């Protein structure tokens, strides 16, 4: 089936699942001026979720079907209800897209005109593409700093998605952070690293602040300094293009305080511990999948 191009200046964006991640992406897109909120829609039964989206101009449609029908790019951002299996998400997509396809006859909603993006962690591209009539999928794995425009996302294109589709998704997710392209087989490892690591860094910030308090700083100042220092170091690593080892060497004077601190980190096996936490996340996700 030939893919019809998504009109890059006028396309409509819809979210199935009006949760936190959908809100982050929609907000980022609107704040960056990538598209007016009038071209974005979602649907939700909960008034609080509806208000969250309406507060920055996103349209709330009465039914999910309307979102699918109306939009050219549909982001699937549903989370399984508590206690339900991941297959729930698959069943929901299948219901929405497959059975709709057979029920709805309008040419305007033929799927060759649509691009479906799934951010659901557990749904594989092959499962999405197995359904007849479904051709254009892109999987994206974002992370929680999307809430502040600093997500680390990776996208993988399904067989029939086009480079133009990839450009559209790179722009959308680029509005909430950075996005790379990678083979889908990397997605579990991506989730193990970028999905879980914000929590490790929060612990590191807390521990650095505790050290500052131990050294005599007021708590609030210590937390502010620790947070800003982590942000500054991450910005140095991303913006200077220098290897972290070089950046570390640049700030360790012979016989100085920083190398004394690094000695303590090495005695505690901090680098091995950080590697181990990613490996532990990986082992854990394989056990539950
Ligand atoms: P969330 O719980 O905030 O949002 C999910 C939303 O989907 C909720 O508002 C829920 O009411 C709605 N929903 C559930 N079942 C529905 C249905 N049948 N029809 C319509 N709406 C329905 O979750 P989230 O954090 O926004 O995550 C959404 C998806 O993004 C998940 O699949 C998750 O795996 C993926 N994801 C999340 C993150 C993250 O950092 N939060 C990172 C990567 C991927």
Provide the pLDDT for residue 136: 87
Q: What beta strand segments (E) does the chain contain?
A: 13-16, 40-42, 59-60, 73-76, 115-118, 137-141, 151-157, 177-181
Percent helix / strand / coil, the chain, rounded to 5: 55, 10, 30
Q: How far apart are CA 1 and CA 17, in angstroms?
A: 28
User: Do the beta carbons of residue 26 and residue 53 sit within 8 Å?
Assistant: yes
More confident residue, 133 or 283: 283
Question: Does ligand 1 lie within 6 Å of residue 160's CB atom?
Answer: no
Choosing from 16, 19, 46 the residue with most ligand 1 atoms within 8 A of its CB, the one to mutate for a pocket test is 19
pLDDT score of 101: 47
pLDDT for 54-86, tens place per residue? 999 999 999 888 898 899 999 999 876 544 444
Q: How far apart are the CA of 20 and the centre of ligand 1, in A?
A: 7
pLDDT value for 103: 43
**Closest-CA residue to 210 (of 225, 191, 199):** 225
Instruction: Tell me how far apart the alpha carbons of residues 158 and 187 are, in angstroms, rounded to a whole number.
Output: 13
Atom of ligand 1 nearest to the CA of 23: 26
Could you count the other beta carbons within 10 Å of the beta carbon of residue 208? 17
- Best residue among 45, 48, 49, 77 to mutate for probing ligand 1, ranked by most atoms within 8 Å of CB: 77
| 19 CA: nearest ligand 1 atom | 4
Split at pLDDT 50, 70, 90, the class of 4 is confident
User: Cβ-count burial of 26 within 10 angstroms (0-12 exposed, 13-18 middle, 19+ buried)?
Assistant: buried
Whether the CB of 79 sits within 6 Å of ligand 1 = yes
Structure tokens at 197: 């690591």
Q: Predicted ipTM?
A: 0.95
């Amino acid at each position: 089936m030939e893919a019809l191009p998504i009109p890059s200046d006028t396309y409509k964006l819809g979210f199935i699942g009006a949760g936190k991640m959908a809100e982050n992406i929609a907000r980022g897109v609107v704040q960056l001026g990538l598209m007016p909120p009038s071209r974005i829609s979602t649907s939700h039964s909960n008034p609080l979720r509806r208000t969250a989206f309406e507060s920055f101009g996103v349209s709330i449609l009465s039914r999910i079907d309307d979102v699918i029908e109306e939009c050219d790019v549909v982001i699937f951002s549903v989370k399984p209800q508590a206690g339900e299996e991941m297959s729930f998400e698959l069943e929901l997509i299948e219901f929405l897209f497959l059975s709709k396809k057979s029920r709805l006859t309008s040419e305007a909603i033929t799927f060759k005109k649509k691009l479906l993006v799934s951010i659901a962690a557990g749904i594989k591209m092959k499962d999405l593409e197995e359904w007849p009539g479904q051709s254009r999928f892109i999987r994206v794995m974002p992370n929680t700093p999307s809430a502040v425009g600093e997500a680390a996302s990776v996208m993988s294109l399904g067989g029939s998605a086009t480079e133009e589709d990839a450009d559209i998704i790179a722009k959308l997710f680029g509005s909430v952070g950075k996005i790379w392209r990678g083979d889908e087989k990397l997605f579990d490892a991506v989730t193990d690293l970028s999905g879980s690591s914000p929590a490790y860094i929060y612990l590191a910030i807390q521990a650095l602040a505790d050290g500052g308090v131990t050294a005599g700083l007021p708590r609030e100042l210590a937390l502010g300094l620790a947070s800003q220092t982590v942000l500054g170091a991450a910005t140095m690593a991303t913006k200077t293009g220098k290897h972290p080892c070089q950046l570390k060497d640049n700030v360790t004077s012979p016989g100085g305080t920083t190398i004394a601190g690094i000695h303590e980190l090495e005695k505690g096996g901090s680098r091995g511990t950080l590697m181990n936490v990613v490996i532990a996340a990986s082992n854990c996700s394989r056990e539950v999948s």
